[in-house]
């Protein structure tokens, strides 16, 4: 490690507070310092070449070092580096992006708002539901339902909606308007002999029980990722979305599809909603919207919702919401360029092609002693780690088997994400078959390394 890297690590330890990190561990050991990247590879200050098997944070769809995206940002910075979208002002890039994005969106979206992150997009959606329900004469419809282990952001509202206990602990959260239905993890929670379809019916029944207990007239919406990223790349079981949407229709409750991770090709379709037959009333996206080259997110909805917004705006005199950097011209320019690249390279077609090898190689690891289940779609795969796959006996949490696999993978040159004892594998969407071969071999090696340690301890 050179002197510059050592200085950066010392500066980071002394002054930078890290989100979603063990602060004591960071104070003692410092960060893994990533210095540069190219294609699907990142490089750390130790000189290791690492395949990014988690797309940064599920966002680096086009990999690292893309001159077209960098040039699009530079051109816009030289033309108009900032323009507000408050007070009826706009600029050409955000106008074009609004038209382009709504045309691509699932289920007939017509309006778009822009923010800087998926958290802000989902937070805005919550506010708009409360706002428009007031306009409709239903101000009591304030409760929002999420799922255990679902993830929708880190603002006070969106982290309350997220079913992540470690993000609630010590913050006095969740807020009372936010409720959670069950995690549809078929492998862990099915009853012996229960089919996936039967499990999905039971999940929908539990969902309906929650709605009835809270009062359907008090519930504004159900927020859900098509496949749960924050719970560890968890794919919905057979029939899940069919039965869940039937309950929503029965009680006239809106569905927001959180496409922050699933959107723009991750699942082998442009949207996860398309992959699983969802018909959302609202859609949020971020991450791959700009291929992670600039912070920008989108919220899309339909004209009926916009009409209710106008009604309140008429009464108050203004729509009292917004962010300084909403619809930032550089972010909009980068997003438009990313959408052009996706079209020109047929990104969805590429994902479908290489996903055959990716999923085949992932499923080949299902027989590993640590692995109980493998489920995936497109370039999005989750691995359940268990002490005993047949009895579903978990590892002792103190072993931190998932974290162990994650760390061994990094040592072997593969960045993965452990969520408890689940592993999420979601490489950049530009990955090729040769890189998939290398990445999955490194993953197998990490599983072998962890297995040797586990065998020695139990």
pLDDT at 184: 97
Condensed to tens digits (0 to 9), the pLDDT of residues 346-379 reads 999 999 999 999 999 999 999 999 999 999 999 9
Taking the CA of residue 174 as centre, how many other CA atoms within 13 Å lie in the half-sphere pointing to its CB? 24
- Rounded CA-CA distance 98/324 in Å is 18
H or E element, residue 283: strand 282-285
Q: Please name the residues in contact with 153: beta carbons below 8 A apart, sequence gap of 6 or more.
A: 117, 118, 119, 120, 121, 122, 123, 159, 161, 162
Condensed to tens digits (0 to 9), the pLDDT of residues 162-196 reads 999 999 999 999 999 999 999 999 999 999 999 99
DSSP character for 132? H
- Rounded CA-CA distance 398/457 in Å is 11
In the CATH scheme, what is the code of domain 32-65+347-457? 3.90.1150.10
Strand duo 219-224 + 178-181: pairing: unpaired
Task: Count CB neighbours of 420 within 10 A.
Answer: 18
Q: Is the peptide bond before 325 cis (omega within 30 degrees of 0)?
A: no
- Rounded CA-CA distance 285/115 in Å is 10
Yes or no: say if 89 and 327 are a contact pair by the CB < 8 Å rule. Answer: no
Predicted confidence band at 27 (pLDDT cuts at 50, 70, 90)?
A: confident
* CA 393 from centre of chain: 28
- Rounded CA-CA distance 254/263 in Å is 19
Task: Count CB neighbours of 424 within 10 A.
Answer: 26
Yes or no: say if 211 and 219 are a contact pair by the CB < 8 Å rule. Answer: yes
Spell out where 182-247 has E strands.
219-224
For 36-57, b/e burial (b = at least 16 CB within 10 A) is: ebebbbbbbbeeeebbbbbbbe
Predicted confidence band at 4 (pLDDT cuts at 50, 70, 90)?
A: confident
Domain ranges of the chain: 32-65+347-457, 68-344
DSSP character for 105? S
Average pLDDT value for the chain = 96
Residue 363's nearest CA partner among 432, 444, 421, 449 is 444
pLDDT at 387: 96
Q: Which 3 state secondary structure label does DSSP give 91?
A: coil
Pick the CATH number of 68-344 from 3.40.50.300, 3.50.50.60, 3.40.640.10, 3.40.50.1370: 3.40.640.10
Name which of 20-29, 228-237, 334-343 the model is least confident about: 20-29
- Rounded CA-CA distance 370/373 in Å is 10
- Rounded CA-CA distance 423/226 in Å is 18
Residue 153's nearest CA partner among 206, 229, 93, 72 is 229
Q: Please name the residues in contact with 453: beta carbons below 8 A apart, sequence gap of 6 or more.
A: 404
Condensed to tens digits (0 to 9), the pLDDT of residues 402-444 reads 999 999 999 999 999 999 999 999 999 999 999 999 999 999 9
Residue 13's nearest CA partner among 32, 26, 25, 22 is 26
DSSP character for 109? -
pLDDT at 13 over 90: no
**Is the sign of the CA dihedral 433, 435, 436, 440 positive or negative?**
positive
Rounded CA Rg of the chain: 22
Q: How far is CA 381 from CA 86, 229, 230, 279, 287, in A?
A: 41, 10, 13, 23, 18
pLDDT at 454: 92
Q: How far is CA 19 from CA 23, 167, 217, in A?
A: 9, 11, 37
Alpha-helix residue ranges (DSSP H) falling in 80-168:
92-104, 118-135, 156-161, 165-168
pLDDT at 26 over 90: no
């Amino acid at each position: 490690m050179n002197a510059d890297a050592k200085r950066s690590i010392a500066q980071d330890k002394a002054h930078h507070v890290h989100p979603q990190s063990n602060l004591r561990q960071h104070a003692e050991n410092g960060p893994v310092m990533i210095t540069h990247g190219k294609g699907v590879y990142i490089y750390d200050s130790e000189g290791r070449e690492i395949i990014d098997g988690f797309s940064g944070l599920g966002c680096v769809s086009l990999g690292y070092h893309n001159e077209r995206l960098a040039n699009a940002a530079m051109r816009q910075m030289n033309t108009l580096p900032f323009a507000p979208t408050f007070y009826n002002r706009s600029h050409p890039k955000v106008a074009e992006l609004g038209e382009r994005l709504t045309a691509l969106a699932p289920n007939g979206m017509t309006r778009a708002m822009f923010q800087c992150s998926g958290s802000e997009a989902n937070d805005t959606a919550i506010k708009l539901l409360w706002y428009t329900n007031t306009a409709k004469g239903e101000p009591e419809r304030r409760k929002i339902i999420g799922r255990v282990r679902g993830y929708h952001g880190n603002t006070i509202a969106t982290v309350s909606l997220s079913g992540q206990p470690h993000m609630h602990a010590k913050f006095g959260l969740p807020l009372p308007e936010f409720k959670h239905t069950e995690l549809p993890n078929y492998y862990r929670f099915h009853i012996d002999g229960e089919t996936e379809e039967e499990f999905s019916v039971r999940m929908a029944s539990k969902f309906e029980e929650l709605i009835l207990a809270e009062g359907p007239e008090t519930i504004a919406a159900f927020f859900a990722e098509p496949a749960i990223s924050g719970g560890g790349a968890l794919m919905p079981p057979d029939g899940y979305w069919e039965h869940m949407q039937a309950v929503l229709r029965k009680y006239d409750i809106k569905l927001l599809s959180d496409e922050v991770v699933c959107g723009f090709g991750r699942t082998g379709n442009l949207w996860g909603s398309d992959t699983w037959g969802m018909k959302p009333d609202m859609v949020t996206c971020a991450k791959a919207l700009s291929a992670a080259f600039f912070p920008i997110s989108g919220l899309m909805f339909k004209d009926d919702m916009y009409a209710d917004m106008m009604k309140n705006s008429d009464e108050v005199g203004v729509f009292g919401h917004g962010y300084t950097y909403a619809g930032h011209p550089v972010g909009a320019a980068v997003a438009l360029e990313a959408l052009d690249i996706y079209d020109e390279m047929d990104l969805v077609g590429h994902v479908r092609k290489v996903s055959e090898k990716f999923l085949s190689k992932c499923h080949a690891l299902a027989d590993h002693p640590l692995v109980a289940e493998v489920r995936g779609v497109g370039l999005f795969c989750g691995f359940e780690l268990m002490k005993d796959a047949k009895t579903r006996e978990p590892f002792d949490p103190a072993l931190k088997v998932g974290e162990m696999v994650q760390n061994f993978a990094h040592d072997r040159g593969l960045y993965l994400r452990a969520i408890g004892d689940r592993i999420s594998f979601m490489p950049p969407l530009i990955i090729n078959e040769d890189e998939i071969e290398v990445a999955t071999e490194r993953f197998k090696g990490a599983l072998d390394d962890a297995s040797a340690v586990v065998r020695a301890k139990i």
